[in-house]
Structure 1
Amino acid sequence: MRSGVSRRTFLASAAAGAGALAGLLPRPLRAQDKTVKIGFLAPLTGPVAAWGKPGLDGCQIWAEWINAGGGINIGGEPHRVEFVAYDDEDDPAKARTGATQLIRENDVKFVMMLGGNSWPGVQPVAERTGMLFSTLLPSDLSPSTATLIAPAEVHPIYNVTAVDWLAANRPELKTAVICAQDDALGLPSVATYLAAFEAAGIEMLDEPLLFDPATTDFAPVVTRMLSKKPQIVCLDTCYSDYVHPICEQLFQQGFKGQILSCTLDFYDQVIAKTSAEFMEGTLFQFPDFDDPALNADFINFQKPNEFFAEYNRRHPGQWGAVSWEYASVMDLWKAAVEKAGSAEPDAVKAAMTEGGEGLHAFGKARWWGKDLFGIDNALVGNWPVVAIEGGKARIKEFRSIPDWYDKHGELMKKHMAAYNQMWDQRG
């Protein structure tokens, strides 16, 4: 890693919440029971391992708890679940090899991916085999791959919700600047924030500052942004390796305005390096799961507070933005398998998307995306707006992504097209 801040725990115990499902099949598994295998194709080594290895660790917890509760009921027969991992090192060629091996040699029924840089290598395999894949990046979606789904993470379109909330609750804030790393996560997020700012009537004081992902000195980045005297500084979908030093520089250079970020992983470390007063009111998109707002009846993540406690018991101080997401994906997959009575990819996808709706972690959602991604394979609904209050992340409100898009979809498409991020522009 390039700094003392590690992204290695972003996905660490994402599957731990599946423990809440234990007990649905109370009969203990026996040695003769069958096994269903899930492929885990992600970077397990290298600079992007933080987006893979911790996710695998979390999935192993999910499997442990599901198996302890009786496994997965497939056509009336209990099956234990087993994850088979392949390290793609965030490289498309290695990802293609891994996908082929998982399908041909390991007979997996579903493949979970980080997506992004690795997806172009896997896409031909998905098209040829019809295997069901999931991605954390809906920007991977296109009409050419009907078996790729985004059932949990809806990056970057949920970023509109925080800007929308800001416009309603702090209308005096009228100017903004934005920075981002120049990569597959940064660019579509920049386009999304630009659309959201335009819809909110917030003026951009400068073109987005796109920095090289190899950047380690963020003093010049912050100096340039603050030279415009913005009321809002937006950190886009910067990795925590960038968010932390940028926040430190904002503090050291005397910024007094509103900070807006997609993620704010390990925010306690940021507070320790700046101050609680400085970080007060910072907005982002990912809650701690001990938040009381997650106990509402419409939440479809079972026992989130207990999940958060168990995660922190096993991995203290390492909760991150996507710690819950792999658990959510697997919960949806398990429910679809048991509904279909089959683990075959086509049957599972049909069961999962039947009726055009699904149970997202944050409430009922619809399978959506044709207008933006060319296919309705993203599960989109409400998303939380989160603020730092008294040194702790707290959900301020759940806002509807589809409602925003119904009003401002043309703005989103305009800015996505300007950054070559529409599905028909991506090669």
Structure 2
Amino acid sequence: MTNKKSNLSRRLTRRGLLKQGSMAIAGGLAAPAILPKSAFAQTRTIKIGGAVPLSGPVAYWGQSTMQGFVDGAAVMNEAGGIMIDGEPYMLEVINYDTKGEVADSRAATMRLVEQDECKFVYSQAAASTVGMLQVTEPAEVLSIVACWGYLELFGTDYPLHFRGEMSDYEQGFAYMPFMIEKYGKDALKSAAFIGPDDQDGIDCHFSYERLMKHYGVEQKAVEYYNWEDTDFYPIVAKTIREKPDFIVTSPSPPGITASIIKAAREMGYQGPISSPAASETETILEVAGEHASGVILPVTNINPSSPTQKAIEKRFLERFGTFNALAGNYSWWIYALKAALEMAGTATDTKAVAEALAQVELEDTYVGRTKWAGKNAYGLNRQGVYDCFTTTIDDGKAELADVRFPDLPDTF
């Protein structure tokens, strides 16, 4: 696998039709009161910092990420904290709003590292991740993020940097076998890509190309939209003119995905449409309406069924007043970090914690089994991989249709 060089002059922010979460936090700072301050004064504390978009166009993603850490820390503290070298530690989660911008993310991360003295931070989306990495790696701070683009900012040159969310590439080795089983290989001989006109979209197209090549699928069309776009009919018209068997939208959020689906169906396109990034059904059903059919949504578990999954859903509803599958997907990160801290036996040596984290495998999370992979592709096991819960929408009805661990190639 070869990494693409980024064009940093391209716009980094994602702008589009994002469903806003219900946890909008004004002023940029949210330090959840997991325990009273007096409790922190009486025990050892590990600070975990979030440099995430809590407002602005990508707030839905940022809030989902933040919720996983806040909930996980509360669970661990209520159980007496985590044990490191025989000593109990409490967790304190501190969040600053990046608004989905590089400069704000860099400033937020500097505050987390220099003032709050966080040794562990997390982030969400490309712009926030780029700004964060400008601070964390030089400061030897461990980071966990959800970011699909900027592959050159990942791997052996960034040994403390983990990508906890499966990108469209990793999950493709679960949803493509499912689609082949559902529709038949002969019905999926060609595909088209629709994504945002920024480095995220370009890098995701790079991943899409590799995935399609692996499965012997011919590329028919590639179209990019601007985040400010509201009319997707021209792009969709050009796409379906090439008669692809199916369409992949990446990394497109729910609202844009729904608009693409609606336009395609109204113009008579009947092939499947897969959205690796939407991870939510409510907006698609609302916007696409009667045209919501033939939709494939990987990493979208709309039917929590195990005791662990149901407990996470219940806690999120009680703690935040809302729950979505995306927030559930991110909830395993802090449990993996806990296991790594306990395995390494230190809360200060981030290199030791990183080496331990790379070995952590969890069996019972909201996304089932989780592990870190990517050594053959990136030189280090820093990419999160887990069970892919694939939801389908057919005839206006969403249902969980498949669960499988990605069948990644040996080169990964």
Q: What TM-score, normalized by structure 2, do the two folds share?
A: 0.80
Q: Does 1:146 align with 2:159?
A: yes
> 1:229/1:59 Cα in 2 relative to 1: closer, same or farther (>3 Å)?
same
- Deviation by residue 1:60-115 (Cα, 9 ceiling, x = unmatched): 33333322222222333332211112222333333223222212211213111115
CA distance in 2, matches of 1:311, 1:332: 19
For structure 1, the 5+ residue unaligned runs are 13-28, 296-301, 413-427
Q: Which of 55, 60, 74 pairs up with 1:45?
A: 55
Equivalent in the alignment of 1:55? 65
Residues of 2 paired with 1:116 and 1:369: CA distance?
Answer: 19
Determine the C-alpha separation between the residues in 2 that align with 1:9 and 1:395. 28
* Aligned: 1:111 with 2:125: no
Give the total of aligned pairs.
377
Per-residue CA deviation, residues 291-345 of structure 1 (Å, 9 max, x unaligned), is 44xx4xxxxxx7112322443455667514x212332110001112223332122
1:283 — aligned with what?
296
Residue pair 1:358, 1:365 contacting (<8 A) in 2 also: yes
SS at match of 1:394: strand
Identify the residue that residue 190 of structure 1 maps to in structure 2: 205
CA contact (8 A) 1:178 1:236 kept: yes
Q: Secondary structure at the match of 2:117?
A: coil
2-structure distance, mates of 1:182, 1:54: 24
Q: Are the counterparts in 2 of residues 154 and 379 from structure 1 also a CA contact under 8 Å?
A: no
C-alpha distance after superposition, 1:245-284 (max 9, x if no partner): 11222232232221211133442342244456x5344212
Aligned to 1:181: 196
Distance 2:267 2:23 in 1: 28
Task: List aligned pairs for 1:275-354, cutoff 5 A.
Answer: 275=289, 278-288=291-301, 290-292=303-305, 295=306, 303-312=308-317, 319-320=324-325, 322-344=326-348, 345-354=350-359
Q: What secondary structure is seen at the aligned counterpart in 2 of 1:256? A: coil
User: Cα 1:203–1:284, aligned 2, differ >3 Å: closer, same or farther?
Assistant: same
Match of 1:36 in 2: 46
Contact 2:49–2:122 under 8 Å retained in 1? yes
1:358 to 361, 366, 374: 361
Aligned CA distance change for structure 1 residues 115 and 7 (closer, same or farther; 3 Å): same
Asked if 1:157 corresponds to 2:170, the answer is yes
Matched residues, percent identical? 21
Aligned to 2:402: 396
Residue 192 of structure 1: how far off its partner (Å): 2.2
Partner Cα separation in structure 1 for residue 198 and residue 53 of structure 2: 16
Matched, 1:94 2:97: no
Per-residue deviation at 1:394? 0.7
* Aligned-partner residue type, residue 381 of structure 2: D
- 1:46-85 counterparts in 2 under 5 A? 46-85=56-95
Residue matched to 1:17? none
Pick which of 358-367 and 123-132 moved more: 358-367
C-alpha separation in 1, matches of 2:296 and 2:102 = 34
Residue 6 of structure 1 is matched in structure 2 by: 19
Provide TM-score, normalisation by structure 1.
Answer: 0.77
Q: Structure 2: how far apart are the matches of 1:274 and 1:121?
A: 35
Name the CA distance, whole Å, in 2 between partners of 1:384 and 1:133.
25
Amino acid at match of 1:249: A
Residue 418 of structure 1 corresponds to which residue in structure 2?
none
Is the alpha carbon distance of 1:314 and 1:35 closer, same or farther for their aligned partners in structure 2, counting shifts above 3 Å?
Answer: closer
Once residues 267 and 382 of structure 1 are traced to their aligned partners in structure 2, the CA distance between those partners, rounded to angstroms, is 19
Q: Report if the CA contact (8 A) 2:248-2:274 is conserved.
A: yes
Partner Cα distance (1:337, 1:184) in 2:
34
Per-residue CA deviation, residues 320-374 of structure 1 (Å, 9 max, x unaligned), is 4x212332110001112223332122232232224xx623745656543244334
Corresponding position of 1:254: 268
Alignment counterpart, residue 270 of structure 1, candidates 255, 267, 284? 284
**How far apart, CA to CA, are the structure 1 residues paired with 2:302 and 2:342?**
27
Deviation at 1:145, TM superposition (A): 1.5
Gaps of 5+ in 2: 1-13, 26-38
Change in Cα spacing, 1:154 to 1:358, as seen in structure 2 (3 Å) is farther
CA contact (8 A) 1:258 1:281 kept: yes
Secondary structure of the residue that 2:159 maps to in structure 1? Answer: coil
**Higher RCO (C-alpha under 8 Å, 6+ residues apart):** 1
Cross-structure match for 2:234:
220
For residues 274 and 45 of structure 1, the distance between their equivalents in structure 2, rounded to whole angstroms, comes to 26
Does the 8 A contact of 1:41 with 1:87 survive in 2?
yes
Looking at structure 1, the residues matched to 17 and 227 of structure 2 have their Cα atoms a distance apart, in angstroms, of: 16
* Deviation, structure 1 residue 218: 0.9
Say if 1:289 and 1:337 are closer, same or farther in 2 by CA, change over 3 A. Answer: farther
How much is the aligned-residue C-alpha RMSD, in angstroms?
A: 3.2
Q: Does 1:210 align with 2:224?
A: yes
For 2:213, give the aligned amino acid: E
- Residues in 1 aligned to 2:75 and 2:387: alpha-carbon distance in whole angstroms: 28
Relative distance call for 1:115 and 1:264 in structure 2 (3 A) is closer
Whole-Å Cα distance in 2 between the matches of residues 280 and 307 of structure 1? 29
Q: 1:126–1:145: 8 Å Cα contact kept in structure 2?
A: no
TM superposition shift of 1:398:
0.6
Question: Residue in 2 aligned with 1:379?
Answer: 384
